[in-house]
Amino acid sequence: MRPLPLAACLALAALPLAALTAQQETPAAPAAVPAAAPAAAPAPLVGNADTGRTLTYTCQGCHGIEGYKNAYPSFKVPKIGGQSADYLANALTEYRTGNRKHPTMEAQAQSFSDQDIADIAAFLSTVK
C-alpha cells in the first residue's frame, strides 16, 4: 500500500506545475485597450502686427539702415521688411534654436517666445 500513497502525493505535487505549464502554453487573450485618439496638432500662432511693431525696435539698428550695410563692423544685412511671415518666423526660430548661426541674431532670438516671433513676422511682412 505504500506505493499508492506515494504516487498520490507525487500526482498532487505535480498538479500546480502542470497547471502553470498549461497557462504558459495557452496565451491569454489580450486585454482590450481603447484606441488612443490621435494628438491634435497645436493651432498655428496668429501674429499681431501692432505688437510686432513694438518688438522690432532693436531690429531697426541693423535692418533699418539705408543700403542695408552696417557701419561697424562692416557687413551687409538682409532686408527683412516685406519678406513672407512664414520665412521670417522660420528664420527667427532657427536662430533661437541655434540651427542658423549669427551671434547677434541668436542673442536677439533667445529672448523671443513663439508668440513674439509670430508677432514680429506679422509686422515685418507688412513693411515695404
Q: How do residues 37-67 score in pLDDT, each as one tens digit?
A: 666 767 778 899 999 999 999 888 888 777 6
| The model's pTM | 0.63
- Residues in the chain, overall count: 128
Give the angle subtended at the CA of 43 by the CAs of 42 and 45, to the nearest 5°.
Answer: 115
d(CA 54, CA 120): 9
**DSSP state at residue 70:** E
> Does position 27 have pLDDT exceeding 70, yes or no?
no
For residues 113 and 121, is the Cβ–Cβ distance under 8 A?
no
Backbone angles phi, psi at 70, to 5 degrees: -80, 145
Residue 77: the pLDDT is 81
Cell matching residue 7: 504516487
Q: What is the band of 68 on the pLDDT scale with cuts at 50, 70, 90?
A: low
For residues 80 and 63, is the Cβ–Cβ distance under 8 A?
yes
Highest mean pLDDT among 16-20, 23-27, 31-35, 84-88: 84-88
